């Protein structure tokens, strides 16, 4: 076994000794591409979403230097008709780009070291390597001489773009190295299959990908591999069976990435840590400082601040993901920032509506931390204002609620949207940002006679009352409360079993003022 050529199955053996979620369906997909025009596969996803596990799994399956049958015989791939056909049948070149970076005295030497070190190992294994040849030339000669093609697996393929984000010369040198392997007439002679994985899709120059022959599966276009991006809902349910953490608690905190045809995806890091520690917590976001998020949300692009405010309040924001250059430096627009945050996992993307949103409570808290210490002081002020608003609501301080909503209106909504009822709902969404700690927010909850505009359900661990908000535009706050009672909205919430605050908020377009009416609806009366 070598360091880069046929490294064996130790990596996947270690994975199997833990609580492994069967993702070997990915092997079946890669098998279907071997030797075809689709044999170059690039799968990208956020950090700690299982990229390295997948790479180690594929290495263990294809590597001819080891016997991995025992590692796979109880997994789904063993039922595939091609399981035995490809099992441990290839010379596999496995490159972990972060390893080369960590071992280099200077990051500028990484590409040269990569070529030389892999070449040395190839030359040691195969005697007929011509002197002075580069890696691509050597591999094509070996494949012709032996009649055996290679499989190459690259983990963290984009690490140089992240670690040396400003070194354009080094990045171009790296791309040239990859193109010599994957973008030439020799590619078909050398490889039966290639699998590269990382966070960022393949670098673009203008609108053209640097390696156009790769089939890419990313956070913006994962189909048909969406089930392999992270844990599916079914897998999370199974993990929760017999654990101390109920699935509903996991879902409330970590659900939110919805890929492909409605496939709900969870961060493996968050789920496994919550189950292991027997406590819901911010585990995925803790694996990297919020400074990394703050850097991008503070980029001075028109409309970015307003979009962040709206997303903190639960809104979805339109985005064009097509012009992103797939690096961390060529940021030319607000859409580039939002697209980068999709690939980093801080935002989720809905392909049907072409919109982004903050996926779950874990990530939302990371945004709040990032803006609290960042340059967007007005957003931090808005969050503090939200704390006061929630306190005023619970104290039934109507004037303070109206004043806090007024402040949120000024800070969080573009003027063009001021004068309509939908804008008022948008303001309320922003104004009650702090509610995410104690409540689950539902917009337009159906009742027997209409919809409750906004309902804040207390989380299980919270002693808060339920808050039901009815919104009016150019009417009266008392009319809002009256509509709640007439439509009997609290009756539709009869299973809640606790106290309910009825909050009526009206916006007068002429005076540009908000007014508020709050009443306590006691469960003893109806529920």
**Cβ contact 467:505 at 8 Å:** no
Name the CA radius of gyration of the chain, rounded: 27
Please, what is the average pLDDT of the chain?
A: 85
My answer on whether 132 and 30 are in the same domain is yes
Contact 51, 156 (CB under 8 A): yes
Domain limits for position 37: 10-217
129-143, 291-305, 350-364, 478-492, range with the lowest pLDDT: 478-492
pLDDT digits (tens, 9 = 90+) for 222-272: 999 999 999 999 999 999 999 999 999 999 899 999 998 899 999 999 999
> What whole-number percentage of the chain has pLDDT above 70?
86
Residue 353 CA to residue 360 CA, distance in Å, equals 18
325 pLDDT exceeds 90?
no
Name the nearest CA neighbour of 197 among 64, 96, 330, 87.
96
294 shares a domain with 196 = no
Same domain membership, residue 458 and residue 410: yes
DSSP assignment, residue 483?
H
For the chain, give the percent of residues with pLDDT over 90: 50
Measured CA to CA, the distance from residue 160 to residue 182 in angstroms comes to 18
Structure confidence at residue 433 (pLDDT): 74
Residues 416 and 463 in one domain: yes
> Is the same domain home to 417 and 504?
yes
Which of 250-259, 346-355, 457-466 has the weakest average pLDDT?
457-466
pLDDT for 464-479, tens place per residue? 888 888 888 777 767 6
For residue 3, is it within any domain?
no
What DSSP state is assigned to residue 132?
T
Q: Which of 217, 232, 262 finishes a domain?
A: 217
Quick one: pLDDT at residue 188? 95
Question: Residue 455: which CATH number?
Answer: 3.40.1350
Q: Which of 114-118, 410-414, 522-526 has the highest mean pLDDT?
A: 114-118
Q: Are residues 386 and 307 in the same domain?
A: no
Query: Which residues, at least 6 apart from 144, have a Cβ–Cβ distance to it below 8 Å?
Result: 189
Give me the pLDDT at residue 13, please: 97
pLDDT mean over 155-164 = 91
Calculate ∠ Cα 499-505-510, nearest 5°.
175
439 prior amide bond cis, ω within 30: no
Whether 118 and 228 map to the same domain: the answer is no
Neighbouring residues of 77: CB distance < 8 A, sequence distance ≥ 6 = 24, 25, 27, 28, 61, 83
| 53 lies in the same domain as 200 | yes
Both structure tokens of 31: 């098998």
**What does the CA dihedral 55, 60, 62, 63 come to, rounded to 10 degrees?**
120
Q: Would the pLDDT of 100 be above 50?
A: yes
- Determine the Cα–Cα distance for residues 339 and 319; give it in Å rounded to an integer: 8
CA–CA gap between residue 339 and residue 336 (Å, rounded): 5
Residue 353 CB-density burial (10 A; 0-12 exposed, 13-18 middle, 19+ buried): exposed
pLDDT value of residue 1: 64
Residue 145 lies in a domain: yes
Domain count, the chain: 3
Region 451-468: what's the mean pLDDT? Answer: 79
Q: What's the pLDDT at 371?
A: 75
Looking at 189, 217, 245, the residue that finishes a domain is 217
- CATH code of residue 157: 3.40.50
Judge whether 4 lies within some domain: no
Q: What is the pLDDT of residue 255?
A: 94
d(CA 68, CA 1): 14
Say whether both 193 and 266 belong to one domain: no
Domain presence at residue 48: yes
Pairing between β-strand 215-217 and β-strand 40-44 as defined by DSSP bridges: parallel
Q: What are the C-alpha distances in Å from 252 to residues 321, 360, 366?
A: 28, 8, 16
Domain presence at residue 526: no
- Looking at the fold, whether 37 and 180 belong to one and the same domain comes out as yes
From 325, 382, 367, select the one nearest 168 (Cα to Cα).
325
Query: Tens digits of per-residue pLDDT, 262-301?
Result: 999 999 999 999 999 999 999 998 766 556 787 887 776 7
The answer to whether residue 196 sits within a structural domain is yes
Q: Give me the pLDDT at residue 327, please.
A: 74
User: Mind listing the pLDDT tens digit for each residue in 72-86?
Assistant: 999 999 999 999 999
Q: 151: pLDDT confidence band, cut at 50, 70 and 90?
A: very high
Pairing verdict, β 466-473 and 500-508: parallel
pLDDT at 429 over 80: no
**Structural domain ending residue among the three candidates 157, 185, 217:** 217
Across the range 217-224, mean pLDDT stands at 95
User: Does residue 423 lie within any of the structural domains?
Assistant: yes
The answer on 161 and 30 residing in a single domain is yes
Residue 421: band (very low, low, confident or very high) from pLDDT cuts 50, 70, 90: low
Q: Give the H or E element holding residue 137.
A: helix 135-146
Residue 384 lies in a domain: yes
462, HSE (Cβ side, Cα atoms, 13 Å): 17
Q: Is the pLDDT of residue 208 over 70?
A: no
Q: How many residues does the chain have?
A: 527
How do strand 317-318 and strand 257-259 relate by DSSP bridges? unpaired
Closest alpha carbon to 374 in 469, 475, 479, 299: 299
- Which residues, other chains included, contact 499 with Cβ-Cβ below 8 Å and sequence gap of 6+? 465, 466, 520, 521, 522, 523
DSSP-based three-state secondary structure for 296: helix
The CA-atom distances, in angstroms, between 475 and each of 272, 423, 469, 512 are 50, 15, 15, 12
Spatial distance between the Cα atoms of 472 and 469, rounded to a whole number of angstroms: 10
Task: Indicate whether 103 pLDDT > 50.
Answer: yes
Q: 249 with 311, same domain?
A: yes
pLDDT at res. 415? 43
């Amino acid at each position: 076994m070598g360091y880069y050529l046929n490294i064996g199955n130790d990596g996947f053996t270690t994975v199997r000794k833990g609580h492994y979620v069967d993702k070997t369906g990915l092997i079946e997909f890669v098998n279907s591409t071997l030797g075809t025009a689709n044999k170059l596969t690039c799968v990208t996803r956020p950090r700690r979403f299982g990229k390295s596990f997948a790479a180690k799994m594929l290495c263990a399956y294809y590597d001819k230097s080891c016997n991995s049958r025992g590692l796979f015989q109880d997994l789904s791939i063993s039922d595939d008709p091609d399981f035995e056909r490809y099992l441990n049948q290839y010379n596999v070149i496995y490159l972990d780009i972060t390893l080369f970076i960590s071992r280099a005295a200077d990051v500028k030497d990484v590409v040269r070291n990569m070529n030389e070190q892999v070449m040395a190992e190839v030359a040691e294994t195969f005697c007929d390597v011509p002197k002075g040849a580069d890696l691509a030339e050597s591999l094509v000669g070996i494949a012709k001489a032996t009649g055996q093609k290679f499989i190459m697996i690259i983990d963290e393929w984009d690490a140089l773009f992240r670690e040396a984000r400003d070194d354009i010369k080094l990045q171009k040198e790296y791309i040239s190295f990859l193109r010599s392997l994957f973008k030439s007439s020799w590619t078909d002679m050398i490889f039966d299959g290639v699998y590269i994985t990382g966070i960022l899709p393949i670098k673009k120059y203008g609108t053209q990908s640097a390696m156009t022959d790769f089939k890419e599966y990313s956070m913006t276009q994962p189909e048909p591999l969406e089930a392999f991006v992270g844990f599916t809902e079914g897998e999370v349910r199974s993990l929760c069976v017999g654990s101390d953490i109920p699935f509903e608690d996991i879902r409330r905190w970590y659900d939110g990435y919805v890929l492909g045809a409605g496939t709900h995806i969870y961060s493996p890091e968050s789920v496994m840590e919550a189950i292991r520690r027997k406590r819901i917590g911010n585990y995925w976001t803790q694996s990297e400082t919020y400074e990394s998020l703050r850097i991008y949300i503070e980029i001075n692009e028109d409309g970015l601040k307003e979009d962040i405010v709206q997303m903190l309040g639960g809104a979805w924001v339109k985005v064009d993901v097509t012009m992103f250059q797939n690096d961390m430096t060529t940021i030319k627009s607000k859409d580039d920032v939002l697209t980068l945050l999709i690939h980093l996992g801080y935002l989720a993307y809905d392909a049907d509506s072409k919109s982004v949103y903050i996926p779950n409570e874990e990530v939302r808290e990371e945004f709040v931390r990032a803006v609290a210490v960042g340059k967007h002081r007005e957003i931090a002020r808005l969050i503090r204002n939200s704390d006061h608003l929630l306190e005023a609501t619970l104290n039934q301080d109507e004037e303070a609620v109206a004043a806090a909503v007024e402040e949120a209106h000024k800070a969080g909504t573009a003027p063009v949207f001021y004068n309509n009822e939908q804008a008022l709902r948008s303001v309320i969404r922003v104004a009650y940002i702090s509610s995410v700690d104690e409540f689950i927010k539902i917009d337009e909850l159906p009742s027997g006679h209409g919809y409750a505009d906004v309902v804040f359900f207390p989380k299980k661990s919270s002693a808060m009352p339920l808050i039901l908000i009815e919104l009016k535009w150019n009417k009266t706050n008392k009319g809002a409360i009256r509509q709640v009672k007439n439509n009997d909205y609290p009756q539709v919430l009869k299973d809640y079993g606790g106290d309910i605050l009825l909050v009526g908020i009206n916006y007068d377009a002429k005076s540009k003022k908000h007014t508020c009416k709050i009443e306590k609806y006691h469960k003893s009366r109806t529920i």
